[in-house]
Every structure is written in structure tokens, then in C-alpha cells.
Amino acid sequence: MAETGKRVPQLAPEVIPSFVLAAVITLAALFLYKVRPSEAAGKALAFKVSQAPIKVLLVVPISIASGLVCRVWGDGDGWMVFGILCGLVIFHSIIEIVYHFEFRKLFAHPVHLGVCAVLSAAIVCVFRFDLTGYDSYLPDAGNVESAAVEIVTLNSWIDYRVPKFVENRYGRQSGIEYEYVNDAEHIFENMKITDVEPVLELARRGIERNDSLTETDYDGVQLLEAGSAETADSTMNTINIHYNLKNGKTVNRSYYLSLGENRELIDRICSDIEYKKGSFPVLTEWADQISGFNYITPGSDFVQVSGAVTGELLAAYQEEFSALTNETMRAEAPVGLLTVKTKEVQEISDRMKRENGNTEWTDLNYLYRYPVYPSFKKTLSLLEKGGVSTGLGFETEDIAYVRVGDPYGAEYYSEEELEHMKPFTVKITDRGEIEELLDLAIYGEYESFDRLFFGGNKGVELYVELGPADGETETGYSAAAYSFTIPEDKLPGYVKDAIEIGERNGYRQGF
């Protein structure tokens, strides 16, 4: 009871306004009930003058929606026209029946039907044929003060969330809530590219591509969503562009373009330091804002880096990450992840430990992660100096074998499943071949940090099994397993040959 009494004052500021609002709504409903007539049979709407506007507001959007559904199901604008006409006739007739309670009144107001048809056609034509020039808008370079570009699939791994400590509320344990920051909003606010020529050229190509699309092309566009296993170069990507004009106005546009077909422009934009600073907060951090770093290697948990190298490590990483090019990202795979711990994040973590007795608030140690590449020599050297091993999180001597192809093998599937498929696996036990494959591969969890590594090729998965020589422990299972991926064009010949032989024999592909 005493605890309940303490909670009443906490609830009051939120409960009292709700009661007041409920009372106001009740009084308003009572007032309206007194001053207007109620609907009844033969009188669908209390005020006859509202019948036509309500009819138009219902029929027009429903007809357009009907056209869009038919456009998706069918093929071409003809199906959209058919869907709009069906929507117009059917829903206009239904509303007339509701109004008059009589089937003979289906076409009692043909003028209203005509108005709905004209409005539906006008709205569709504005968007379908870009009658306002919205889609074809391209500002002059002289009128643009700066620009910002969001390439969704390349930078989807960046975390802009801001953690907040939440006090004990309603008897619950204190915890952490995250303030989610929209990626595009962050980039548009912080990125100020002054070399706008490549940005405008990219936008021009986006406009030209939209203009050149045929009706069937709209259905055939393959979009790459964040988190997809596809590669960035081989599919269509969302590119959002934000213009800061010299007259003080801002303009946003979105396009779907292939990074592979526009590689030169994309590389030029991504190499702009303003693009990097606007996309990656670590490049604008100061040493006095950083509490420390954690480092994560393939197959291991995070390891705290010694605080003695924090300032040097930040400067080295900023230098090498700023110089990172798309060409390097295509050639190299990340070898680890560097987690940046700001002082604000560290304070929240320390407070959680004090108030809840947590030895570590794990999620905060994975919040702001950035890839480390083999060419980051200064960064890797300082990590070693800070007491961190930068190699794999497991010893290659402990690898029993590497499996290429089906991750499970025939023993995983039922007899019924095996009637329709032949799981195919290449087992590699040679130590030299295993090390060669690992040098060519990217760790599965790191794929989203480097979408360019595959260069438009499919990925072939490797499953690294740890354990004794036969790959099994006393329990019958491998001691541990890790997933890596190799771009198809980088596969050694002996693996390609084995996969081709398996496919010729009717086995399932290993990718």
C-alpha cells in the first residue's frame, strides 16, 4: 500500500489531462447531438448539402487506388485505366444506393460521376506524366550553395541513435531508451558538399533513367533494401539528394540508380571529405569527446582498447578512414570493427552499473561500430599497442574443415526433402587452402559494412567448423562454426571445379 501511495503523485500529471480531455469530448458530443438531426433510414447523411462533397472525397481516392492495384496486377497503363473506371462506376453506384436506399438510383447523378472521373484522371496524369515538372527538376549549379547525398545501401550500417538514461518509473527498473534519428535527416543537416557537379550529373542521370523507362520497366526494377544479401553494384539503389539553394530554400529528390553503371560518379562523391564528414560522425569527433574504444574481430566478443592510446587511435583512424576509397573497399574486406564510445555513452553505461548492478551494459559496446581494413596500418598498429589482438577470434589451427555450399549437408534434411533436392557440399581440410580461402573472404557479420566488396558478383558462403580433425566433438557437433562469404569471381579454381561438377550431377548450387 505504501508503494502504491508513492506512485499516485507520479501518475497524476499524465492521468488528470486524460480525464479533462474525456470530459471536453463528452460535452462536445452532447452539444452536437442537441443542435443537429440524427441520421435515419432514407436520410443517410444529416445534412443533404454534404452528400456531393463526401461522395467525391470517397470515390476519387478509391478509384485511383483501384487503378493502382490493377496496374500492379496487370501490365501497363491500360490496366490502370481499367481499374480506375471500375472503381468509379462500382463505388459511385454503391454510395448512391446508400444515400437513397434504392437500386434504381445507381446513376441518379451522372454529373457527379463525371466530376469524379475528371478529378481522378487529372490527379493520375499529374503524377504519371510529371505535369508539374517535379521529377525533372534540376537546379543550376550556380544556384546551389551545397548538396547532400544519401546512398542508402552503402551506409545503411551507420547508427545515428542517441541513448538516453530513463529514470525509475512506475516501479520499473531504470533502463535505456534510444532516440532514433532518421538517416536522411542527419545527412541532410550535416553534409555540405560544395563540389556539386558530380551530384547534379548523378541527378540528371536519375531523371533520364525515369524518362526512358517503359511501362514494363517499372515492374522490373530491382531495389536493394537495407540488410539485403544482394550486392550493391548489381542492383538498383535508392539515392536521396538534398540541395541547399542560395536563395535559402531546400529541395529534396530521390532516384533509383545502379551503382555499377554510375561507378565513376559515385566514387567521386564518396571520396569528397564533406560527404564523409556528413555521413560518418567519427570523423567530426574530438579526442576530448571520446571515452575509449572497443575492438571486435571475427568470431570473438568485443575487447576494450587501452585508454593510453585513445587520442592517437582516434587521429589515426580519422586519417585512414577519411582516405578510404571505394576502390579499396572493392579490393579489401574489413578485418574487424572499431566501436567508438563517447563520454555520454560511457556515463550512461556507468550509471546503469551503479543503479542496476550490471557488470556491463553490452548493447552500448556495440552501438557505434566502424570497419577496419587491412590497409589501415596505423590503426592496426595502435590497436596492438593498446593490448588488442587484431587477427581472427580463433586459431586457424583449431579449424577442422571449411564447408563450401550447403551449410548442413544431407543428414540435416528429411527423406521427403531429399527426394526433391541433393544438398551439395565441398569439404576442404588442407591447411594452405583454408588460409587462402579466409584471406579472400569477408566475415558474414561484416558484409553490411562493405557493400562494394562483391563488385556485382554473387557470394559463395564458407562455413568454418572448429573442432577435432573429424570436425566433431564427443557430442557429435562441431565445437563452433563461423560463416564467411567469398565473391564468386575470387573463388580459387579447385572450388569452382568442384561446384561445377556437383551442379552437372544435379546437386543444389553452393550459393
**Residues whose CB falls within 8 Å of the CB of residue 6, separated by 6 or more in sequence, listed in order:** none
Q: Which pLDDT value is given to residue 255?
A: 93
**Phi first, then psi: what are they for 27, rounded to 5°?**
-65, -40
Residue 57: which H helix or E strand, with range? helix 51-73
- pLDDT per residue rounded down to tens, the chain (511 residues): 444 454 455 556 667 888 889 999 999 888 877 766 555 545 666 667 788 899 999 999 999 999 999 988 887 788 999 999 999 999 999 988 888 777 777 788 889 999 999 999 999 999 988 999 999 999 999 999 999 999 988 888 999 998 888 876 555 566 788 888 899 999 999 999 999 999 999 999 999 988 776 443 443 343 333 333 344 455 678 999 999 999 999 999 999 898 888 999 999 999 999 999 999 999 998 878 888 999 999 888 788 899 899 999 999 999 999 999 999 999 999 999 999 988 888 888 888 777 776 545 567 878 899 999 999 999 999 999 999 999 888 888 888 888 886 666 566 666 776 666 666 677 888 888 888 988 889 998 898 899 888 876 777 788 888 876 544 544 444 567 888 988 888 888 878 777 665 554 444 443 3
d(CA 288, CA 258): 40
Q: Which pLDDT value is given to residue 230?
A: 43
Alpha-carbon 291 to chain mean position = 29
Structure-derived torsion over alpha carbons of residues 161, 167, 168, 170, reported in degrees to the nearest 10: -80
Please, where are the H alpha helices in 359-418? Answer: 377-385, 415-418
Cβ 424 vs Cβ 510: under 8 Å: yes
- Per-position DSSP letters for 240-285, written without gaps between them: EEEEEETTS-EEEEEEEEETTTTHHHHHHHHT-HHHHHHH-GGGG-
Count of residues for the chain? 511
Q: Which pLDDT value is given to residue 190?
A: 95
- Going from the C-alpha of 125 to that of each of 32, 118, 130, the distances in angstroms are 41, 10, 7
Q: Which pLDDT value is given to residue 30?
A: 82
Q: Which pLDDT value is given to residue 149?
A: 97
Q: Which pLDDT value is given to residue 507?
A: 43
Exposed, middle or buried, 200 (CB in 10 Å: 0-12/13-18/19+)? Answer: middle
d(CA 466, CA 498): 23
Apex 449 CA angle, 444 and 454, nearest 5: 70
Cβ 12 vs Cβ 3: under 8 Å: no
- Going from the C-alpha of 356 to that of each of 170, 313, 360, the distances in angstroms are 16, 32, 10
Q: Which pLDDT value is given to residue 16?
A: 82
Q: What pairs with residue 254 in β-bridges?
A: 240
**Residues whose CB falls within 8 Å of the CB of residue 111, separated by 6 or more in sequence, listed in order:** none
Apex 190 CA angle, 316 and 345, nearest 5: 60
Dump pLDDT digits (tens) for 129-180: 899 999 999 999 999 999 999 998 888 899 999 888 887 655 556 678 888 8
d(CA 291, CA 305): 11
Q: Which pLDDT value is given to residue 408?
A: 61
Report the sign of the C-alpha dihedral through residues 310, 443, 180, 241, in that order: positive
Q: What is the DSSP letter of 155?
A: S
The grid coordinates listed for 87 are 472503381
d(CA 92, CA 63): 9
Q: Which pLDDT value is given to residue 464?
A: 86
Report the sign of the C-alpha dihedral through residues 156, 158, 160, 162, in that order: positive
Dump pLDDT digits (tens) for 290-307: 889 999 998 887 888 998
Q: Which pLDDT value is given to residue 399?
A: 87
- Residue 307: how many CA atoms within 13 Å on its side-chain side? 8
- Going from the C-alpha of 258 to that of each of 194, 221, 224, the distances in angstroms are 24, 10, 10
d(CA 443, CA 461): 10
d(CA 97, CA 83): 21
Residue 480 identity? A
The most distant pair of C-alpha atoms in the chain lies apart, rounded to whole Å, by 89
Q: Which pLDDT value is given to residue 169?
A: 53
Q: Which pLDDT value is given to residue 11?
A: 55
d(CA 510, CA 501): 11
d(CA 471, CA 464): 10
d(CA 150, CA 239): 6
Cβ 183 vs Cβ 153: under 8 Å: no
Q: Can you state the percent helix, strand and coil of the chain, rounding each to 5?
A: 50, 20, 35
387: left (phi over 0), alpha (psi -120 to 50) or beta: left
- Per-position DSSP letters for 165-201, written without gaps between them: EE---TTPPPEEEEE---HHHHHHHH--B---HHHHH
